[in-house]
Structure formats: structure tokens, C-alpha cells
A and B are shown apart, each in its own frame.
Chain A
Amino acid sequence: MSKSLLELKKLVMHFPAGKNQVVRAVDNIDLSVIEGEVLGLVGESGSGKSTIAYTVMGMYNQTDGEIVFDGDVYTSSDKRNKDFHRKAQIVFQDPGSSLNPYQDVRTILSLPLKVHKIVPRNEIDNKILEILETVELPSNFMYKSPNAIGGGEKQLVAIARAICSDPKFIVLDEPTSSLDVSIQAKIINMLMGLKEKNNLTYIFITHDLAVIRNVSNRVAVMYLGKICELSPTEEFYAEPLHPYSQMLLSAIPVVSEEEEKLKPAEVKSVGEVPSPVDIPLGCSFNTRCKYVQPKCLEVDPEMKEVKPGHFVRCHLYSDE
């Protein structure tokens, strides 16, 4: 059994929202990421997928629960050490706002090199050229400002920045969602190539299930702060178990008939998305689920391993 690089144990992240209200962005998550895999984290807005990413990276201190990364345990009061920052990196969704418009590419890339003393000062420029070559950007990008380059190239710079410190683990928060389809393929192929070459582990966050189908080893579907379904990729697409997973898959726009056949029969949302401060009792999906039973309104289902490695949190499967 491969070693798990990252483990989330009963992770909780609540944000205060006005008088006596709390946004339960991440609600009691148990998840582990195996070294060398690509874990796809899928969900819509408000699902908590980005919050998990930020909490893991240390941008927020979790409300409760433990984060274990490469042997180090982080509780809600621990700060990440420098070693963590070297081994774990993040690529944000919008390259426009993740690159400082007042810095050129050279300054941006030299920061991680300097902070972690990857190379001596006089070799920084060479290392930067090397990294630019790795992400297939021309060397004259060194002195370009982010304003002068396109979205796809900006994202490549962000990826280059992430690999500067020679990390083991990268969180990719919707890395291609703001990019055109023709550039998306290039970026994703680049990311997969880097993974193989540098032996990286990824959490790939996205709402695009078609992308996940092609990049990840396992898929975790999130809804309102909880994981609904966790499964190896092929099995998930062959047989999605959770009603929300089915709804997501049936809503994806596809471009060919073969894909149409793979989609589950159209599952329409029969209600509104609840507000994150007012999550319904019982199963949080009960306002939109077409299989809703009285039990779903009262009891929150537990995560159950229905097949080896395939977990679902739904009353439809917990009665067996």
C-alpha cells in the first residue's frame, strides 16, 4: 500500500458570518492523498473545495481537526514551517490575480529560489532560464510584466513558480477554469508531464468533470462542505452512485454522441441551492434530491465503503 502524503482527519473549517451565524465551509472531512496520485476534488461553488485547499496550505487555521503532511502534524493552532512551504505549493485559479502586476517574471520566479536558497545568488538567472524551458516558455519572458502576457502564459508562470522550490505536493485550484479550451489542453498536459518527471502529487480542484476524467486517479465529490462520494476515476464515471454525482454528470455539456451515452439520464435539480449559512438538517442535499426519503430530512448519512475504495455518503446505500 502506498504511503499517504497528506491526511485530513476530521477537518472542520467554520467562518463566522454576522450575528450568530456560521458558514460551515468544511464540515468534518476525512481524506487522504496518496503519494504520486492525482486526486480530483470536484464540486460547485460553495462546496468548500477551495477552502480545503487554502486550509491545507495554511492560509487559514482550521477550526478543528488535524492535517498531517509528510509526517508533520498540524493542529488548529500550528503554523506551517518553512519546510512545508518548500514541499507544498499552490497554483491559484486566476493567473491575473496570482501574479503581482508590478513585478516581472524574473522577480516572481526568483522569490522561491531566494527564500529556500535553492541555488546560490549568482546562479539564480540560470536557474530561472532552466525553469522557463521546463514549462516551455521562451527565455525572453524573463523581463516581461504579467500585463504583457496572455492568460495561458501567466498560468504557466504560476506553475513555474510552484515548481521552483522543487516541491513534492501541489494543490491546483481550478488551474484552467479561466482559460480557453485550446490553451487548457496545453496547460494540463504540461502539468501531467511535470508530475511524471518530478514525481509530484496533486490535488486537482475543478468543477469540470470532463477534465477530471482525463487527469485524476481518484475523484472526490463535494457538496456544501462534505464529501459525497470518493472513488477511483474509471469506476466513478462508469457508475456514479451519489444522486449529486449523477446530477453533475448529467449537466456537463458534451461534444459527441459517445459521450452522451455515457452520461446518466438527465437529472434535473428540483429545488434551490441552500445558503451555506443555513444548511438543512439531515442530508444537506435533501432540498434538490429526487430520491429524497423521510430519513434524509432528519439523519445525516455516514460515509460508507460500498465497494473497495469506493465510498458514498447517502441513505440509498446505507440501508444495505
Chain B
Amino acid sequence: MNSNNLQHDSAVLKKSWIKTSTKENLKIYWYNFRRNKLSLIGLIIVLICISLALFPQLFARYPAHVEAFVDYSNASKGPSSEFWFGTDNYGRDIYTRVIYSFRGALVMAIVVLAISVPIGTTLGLIAGYFQGTIVDTIIMRLTDIFLAIPPLILAMSIASLLEPNMTNTMIAITVSWWPWYTRLVYTNAASHSQEYYVKNAELIGASTPHVLFKEVLPNCMSPILTKMALDVGWVIIQTASLSFVGLGEQPPHPAFGQMISDGSNYLPEQWWQTIFPALAIIFLVLGFNFVGDGIRDMFDKGSQS
């Protein structure tokens, strides 16, 4: 057998084969995803929210109202053609401020998840793979401790030690978020570690990191990704709750919770100050929830024939 021939074969054929198998997988995923109409609606909503976060200036009408701005002549006006969502008591356009709040919310979600998911997942993988040993006990008891701390209290403690701002709130939410992933991955990893292909990798002599990340982890990805999509909504609600009590994005820059908090003083007459930011949260969270359902369906190997 001519080894040069084989080299030529493998290089040339590689590209076309990789394309076919990846394309094949993507086709299956997309088919499963779009089977549920709600997932598609969710996807559209999410794309809208991302556009708003990336390019608020394209959609907002009065960008200046996001910073320190006062115009008492237009204060506390209801929805009109000039101010689509009305104004607050400083005369700032609520529509613009809502649009600009999307970025903060999504950034918060991304950063929190980007840090807490890898940490939580890795710990869960290790604990699950070594289930029954002391490693499992240490990690899971640590997880239990962190789960027991209410995020609100933690955030307020951090705020009182350091200043209340976006970064510190992010830290607080991240610290209270990773244990959920450890829990989730733990059960998955524990059961997948008993699969024959994992055992086979061990019997071939593969190293433990390889087994954890290349054999066990890919099988846990489905619930992780689904949870991440749903968590975007949860983190945003958590952020809103914290900014409702003054932790998080500080004025004059807008944030959903902060706007709801300010507006709540004027309920029910000036309903627009509270309702529109609240609707924005609902819109955002619903979108990610639908997408989360879609992601879960996407990986559902049961519906593939």
C-alpha cells in the first residue's frame, strides 16, 4: 500500500467528508428546533433583543435622555406620538431608556454565565465522575453551602463592603449562580460516566481529563445549553430585582429594575413608567425561554429516526 496515496486521499477527501457529516448534524438540529413554532418565535425575539443591545442608537429616538438630562416641560407625560412610551418625571423618554437597557441586561447575563458555567460545569463533572468518593463529597457539600446563601443578601453584603455598581453586582450574581450548574452536571456526569464508551476510553488508557472533557462532557451539553438559554432570563430578572433595590447599574444610566423601582412611586396614575420596562423584561425572558425549549428539542435524540 502506497502511503503517499493514502495521504493524498485523506487530505482531499477530508474536506468533503467533514462538510457532509457536520452539515448532516446541523440539518437534524435545525429540523428538530423548528418543529415547535414557539421556538421560532423565541428565536426572532432573541434576535431582536440582540440587535437592540448591539445597536441601540439605531432604534432609540432621544439618545441624550440616557445620560444626565432634565426637561421638566415634558415630564410625566403619557404615551404619545412624540414619546412612544411616555416620559418619566425628569422628562426623559421612556422608550429610549428601555431600548438602552437591553444592553446592560444582556451583558450582565453573558458575563455571569461566561464565568459561572465553566466553573460550575467543571466541578460538577469532577464530582459526578468520582461519585461516591471523597472528592464528590467535598465538592457537593461546598455546592450545598453556596446554594444556601440567598443571592440578594450576598449582593447586598458585597455592596456594603464595596460600592454598589454593575461590576460588583455581577460578581455577586456569578458567585451565587455556579452551584446550579454543578448540581445539574453532577447527576448527568454520574450517569454518563457509567456508559460503555466512557468505560472503553478508560480501558484504552485515556487520561482522566480526556475522559471528563471529551467523553463525558459532550453528553451533558444538552441540558447545560438549555439551562443557559433559560438562565439568561433568570439572570436578567435577578439583575432587575437587585437594581430594584439600588444595586447594579447606577443612575442616570437606565436599567429595567431601576426604572420599575422609580416608576412604582407613581403607580397607578403614571402607569407607563413601570409597565413598559416590565413588558420589556417579559419580552426578553419569554424569547429566551422559547429558545431554551427549542434547544432542548434540538438535542432530543428520541425524535430522530
Given a CB threshold of 8 Å, the question of whether A touches B is answered with yes
A interface with B by C-beta (< 8 Å): 57-59, 82, 85-86, 89-90, 92, 94, 97-104, 107, 111-112, 115-116, 125-126, 129-130, 133, 139-140, 142-145, 147-148, 161, 165
Known A-B contacts A59-B199, A143-B21, A147-B304; the reply to A115 vs B204 at CB < 8 A is yes
Shortest Cβ distance from residue B305 to the other chain A in the assembled complex, whole angstroms: 11
Known A-B contacts A126-B6, A147-B304, A148-B24; the reply to A85 vs B197 at CB < 8 A is no
Quick one: closest A residue to B10, CB to CB? A125
- Tell me which of B195, B210, B301 contacts A97 (CB under 8 A): B195
Q: CA of A98 to CA of B24 in the docked complex: distance in angstroms?
A: 22
Taking the complex as formed, is B36 at the interface, i.e. its CB lies under 8 A from any CB of chain A? no
Q: CA of A101 to CA of B221 in the docked complex: distance in angstroms?
A: 12
- With a cutoff of 8 Å between Cβ atoms, the chain A residues found around residue B202 in the complex are 59
Cross-chain contact A102 with B7 (CB below 8 angstroms):
no
Cross-chain contact B203 with A58 (CB below 8 angstroms):
yes
Taking the complex as formed, is B205 at the interface, i.e. its CB lies under 8 A from any CB of chain A? yes
Inter-chain pairs besides A100-B218, A125-B6, 10 sampled, C-beta below 8 Å: A92-B196, A98-B197, A100-B215, A111-B204, A126-B3, A130-B6, A139-B13, A140-B17, A142-B13, A145-B24
- With a cutoff of 8 Å between Cβ atoms, the chain A residues found around residue B301 in the complex are 101, 147
Cross-chain contact B9 with A139 (CB below 8 angstroms):
yes
Cross-chain contact A57 with B203 (CB below 8 angstroms):
yes
Known A-B contacts A89-B203, A115-B205; the reply to A144 vs B21 at CB < 8 A is yes
- With a cutoff of 8 Å between Cβ atoms, the chain B residues found around residue A94 in the complex are 196
Cross-chain contact B18 with A143 (CB below 8 angstroms):
yes
Quick one: closest B residue to A58, CB to CB? B203
Q: CA of A161 to CA of B203 in the docked complex: distance in angstroms?
A: 12
Quick one: closest B residue to A86, CB to CB? B205
Q: CA of A126 to CA of B5 in the docked complex: distance in angstroms?
A: 10
- Tell me which of A89, A92, A133, A145 contacts B21 (CB under 8 A): A145
Cross-chain contact B21 with A148 (CB below 8 angstroms):
yes
CB within 8 Å of A: which B25-49 residues: 25
Q: CA of A242 to CA of B219 in the docked complex: distance in angstroms?
A: 46
Cross-chain contact B3 with A145 (CB below 8 angstroms):
no
Shortest Cβ distance from residue B13 to the other chain A in the assembled complex, whole angstroms: 7
Shortest Cβ distance from residue B228 to the other chain A in the assembled complex, whole angstroms: 18
Taking the complex as formed, is B162 at the interface, i.e. its CB lies under 8 A from any CB of chain A? no
Cross-chain contact B13 with A140 (CB below 8 angstroms):
yes
Known A-B contacts A129-B10, A143-B21; the reply to A85 vs B199 at CB < 8 A is no
Q: CA of A304 to CA of B262 in the docked complex: distance in angstroms?
A: 91
- With a cutoff of 8 Å between Cβ atoms, the chain A residues found around residue B9 in the complex are 129, 139
Cross-chain contact B17 with A145 (CB below 8 angstroms):
no
Known A-B contacts A98-B196, A101-B301, A143-B17; the reply to A111 vs B3 at CB < 8 A is no
